[in-house]
Amino acid sequence: MEDPLYKNETRRNIKQGLIKANWSKAKKEAKELFMMDKEYDDGSGGKINFFQNIKTRGEDLRDNEILNSQRGYINDNINNNN
């Protein structure tokens, strides 16, 4: 960490507290960025939208689960001659 408070501190418990505080802050900021519907440079000249990627993957999982459950229902009916 580049924080001067951390660099100058010698007590282990205080350093752990500073690390935890910075970690919590970083997690909160990362979550906010992921949930924003905004495009970012992917470093290869392309654009990436994390929110849309998460939304698309969630919808794909939901749709696949629905299809699989419906197939299972149909197969159960065929196997049981209902």
Domain boundaries, the chain: 1-34, 37-82
What pLDDT score does 77 carry?
A: 53
Beta carbons of 66 and 72 less than 8 angstroms apart? no
62's tokens: 């939901």
pTM: 0.42
Residue 30 has pLDDT above 80, yes or no: yes
How far is Cα 53 from Cα 34, in angstroms, rounded to an integer? 10
| 68 CB-contact burial (10 Å; exposed 0-12 / middle 13-18 / buried 19+) | exposed
pLDDT digits (tens, 9 = 90+) for 36-73: 778 877 888 888 888 888 889 999 999 888 877 777 65
Closest CA to 49 of 58, 59, 57, 41: 41
